[in-house]
């Protein structure tokens, strides 16, 4: 697997781009598309390597880039997605269609990471640094045991889903689904997501927790082509049958593309403390103290072409953007991140060590355990699923 010399070639310019270079690159791509990046500089009359041209285009010159300050909604989306995906900036960027991965990465490193750290939240794990789950008080042991059990459930489901996805993708190797998978969102990408999630949570596939109740999990993959009139809609459903804190639960989701039963939970909860929601959501999602019972993902394939570029309309331009902002981030919209996360710190400071809402109770409510706890998880995952459901077509998440 040799690596091309690229910029090592003598005579090629490096460093900041001049307006003249920008103009040349822009003009060439608008007329011809970028084609082979390697061949582009010579054709465009640029003393740059193709890689440099590609970077300049994708991070700066592309017409569908929004520059400037990140909105609160964007910030919240980044934080949530980072909790879910880790440093997968390109995947995160697909949910902020007008932002580049580089920009998001920079913004995370220069703003959000520091902000979370200042709030006492580990920006890597998205958990409070004084992890309440590790506290010997407040029923920590039983919760941890449940956590481990559900981690294992999730892991089991993940492995099963992985195998199934591979099978399915092979079976569909000659139809549009295969095309979609191979060109924009590979089956492995979804598994990478899950892998990343588990990695973020600090688990590994070698988890050896005792599962006294072996969970079963299913993942179905269906394709709804809607005749030929539109892009195919892929629906993947992961169903879990297993134990939870509240006892045996079996939920069979209807495999619609709408989650009416969950939708609205987020917005209805906007009067609660955002910090608690954040902490609950992140913490619970990472530890899986509750079970995600049904997960439906929809994708619409929409090819991204040079032509669409030229018309200032990237393939993922508007798909799901508004719904993402209205659905997913509404969960967090009643306050500013700063203020609420400050509340988070205050809460944990005043809670005498049991502060983590994921452990001892959320939002100041008494922790009667099961239902509230479960509901918090549901809210969180609802927000994630809303986001996923509104994923742009080229999202590498699934």
- Which residues make up the interface to DNA (CB under 7 A)? 1-4, 6-7, 13-17, 35-39, 50-52, 54-56, 59-60, 67, 87-91, 101-103, 105-107, 109-111, 114, 182, 186, 188, 396
Give the C-alpha distances (Å, rounded to integers) separating 76 from 5, 112, 118, 274, 389.
Answer: 40, 10, 16, 11, 17
Half-sphere CA count of 211, side-chain side, radius 13 A:
17
Tokens found for residue 56: 């300049």
**Closest distance between DNA and the C-beta of residue 209, in Å?**
28
Tokens found for residue 226: 């809607």
Which positions ≥6 away from 208 have C-beta within 8 Å?
A: none
Strands (E), the chain: 216-224, 233-244, 247-250, 294-300
* Minimum CB distance to DNA smaller for 51 or for 209: 51
Tokens found for residue 252: 């069979």
Distance CA 364, CA 347 (A): 8
The 10 Å Cβ neighbour count of residue 1 is 2
294-300 and 247-250 strand pairing: unpaired
Beta bridge partners of 243: 248
* Minimum CB distance to DNA smaller for 90 or for 135: 90
**Closest distance between DNA and the C-beta of residue 192, in Å?**
9
Tokens found for residue 163: 């195998």
What is residue 295's three-state secondary structure?
strand
Give the C-alpha distances (Å, rounded to integers) separating 87 from 113, 141, 193, 200.
Answer: 11, 31, 11, 9
* Minimum CB distance to DNA smaller for 95 or for 143: 95
Question: By the 8 A CB rule, do 48 and 13 touch?
Answer: yes
What is residue 352's three-state secondary structure?
coil
* Minimum CB distance to DNA smaller for 195 or for 377: 195
- Residue reference for tokens 């590979």: 186
Q: How wide is the angle at C-alpha 312 spanned by C-alphas 308 and 316, nearest 5°? A: 65
**Closest distance between DNA and the C-beta of residue 342, in Å?**
18
**Closest distance between DNA and the C-beta of residue 171, in Å?**
18
* Minimum CB distance to DNA smaller for 111 or for 346: 111
**Closest distance between DNA and the C-beta of residue 211, in Å?**
30
**Closest distance between DNA and the C-beta of residue 299, in Å?**
16
Number of helical (H) and strand (E) elements in the chain, helices listed first: 17, 4
**Closest distance between DNA and the C-beta of residue 191, in Å?**
11
* Minimum CB distance to DNA smaller for 54 or for 209: 54
Length reported for the chain = 398
Task: State the DSSP H helix or E strand holding residue 374, giving kind and residue range, or none if neither.
Answer: helix 370-389
* Minimum CB distance to DNA smaller for 17 or for 154: 17
* Minimum CB distance to DNA smaller for 114 or for 258: 114
**Closest distance between DNA and the C-beta of residue 397, in Å?**
11
* Minimum CB distance to DNA smaller for 17 or for 381: 17
**Closest distance between DNA and the C-beta of residue 387, in Å?**
17
* Minimum CB distance to DNA smaller for 188 or for 225: 188
**Closest distance between DNA and the C-beta of residue 261, in Å?**
32
């Amino acid at each position: 697997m040799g690596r091309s010399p690229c910029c090592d070639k003598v005579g090629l310019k490096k460093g900041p781009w001049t307006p003249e270079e920008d103009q040349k690159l822009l003009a060439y791509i608008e007329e011809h598309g970028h084609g082979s990046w390697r061949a582009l500089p010579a054709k465009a009359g640029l003393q740059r390597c193709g890689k440099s041209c590609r970077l300049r285009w994708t991070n700066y010159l592309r017409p569908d880039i929004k520059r400037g300050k990140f909105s609160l909604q964007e910030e919240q989306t980044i934080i949530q997605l980072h909790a879910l995906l880790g440093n997968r900036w390109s995947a995160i960027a697909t949910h902020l269609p007008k932002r580049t991965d580089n920009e998001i990465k920079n913004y995370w490193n220069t703003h959000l990471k520091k902000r979370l750290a200042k709030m006492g939240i580990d920006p890597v794990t998205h958990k409070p640094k004084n992890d309440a789950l590790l506290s010997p008080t407040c029923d920590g042991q039983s919760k941890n045991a449940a956590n481990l059990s559900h981690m294992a459930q999730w892991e089991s489901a993940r492995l099963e889903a992985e195998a199934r996805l591979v099978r399915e993708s092979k079976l569909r190797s000659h139809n549009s689904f295969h095309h979609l998978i191979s060109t924009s969102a590979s089956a492995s990408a979804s598994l990478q997501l899950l892998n990343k999630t588990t990695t973020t949570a600090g688990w590994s596939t070698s988890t050896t927790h005792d599962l006294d109740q072996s969970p079963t999990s299913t993942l179905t993959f269906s394709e709804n082509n809607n005749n030929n009139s539109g892009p195919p809609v892929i629906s993947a459903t992961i169903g879990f049958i297993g134990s939870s804190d509240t006892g045996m639960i079996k939920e069979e989701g209807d495999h619609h593309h709408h989650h009416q039963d969950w939708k609205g939970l987020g917005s209805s909860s906007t009067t609660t403390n955002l910090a608690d929601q954040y902490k609950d959501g992140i913490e619970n999602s990472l530890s899986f103290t509750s079970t995600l019972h049904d997960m439906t993902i929809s994708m619409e394939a929409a090819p991204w072409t040079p032509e669409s570029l030229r018309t200032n309309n990237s393939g993922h331009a508007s798909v799901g953007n508004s719904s993402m902002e209205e659905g997913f981030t509404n969960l967090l919209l009643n306050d500013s991140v700063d203020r609420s996360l400050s509340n988070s710190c205050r809460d944990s400071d005043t809670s005498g060590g049991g502060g983590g809402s994921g452990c001892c109770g959320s939002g100041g409510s008494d922790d009667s355990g099961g239902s509230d706890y479960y509901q918090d998880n549901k809210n969180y995952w609802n927000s994630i699923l809303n986001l996923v459901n509104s994923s742009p077509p080229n999202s590498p998440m699934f």
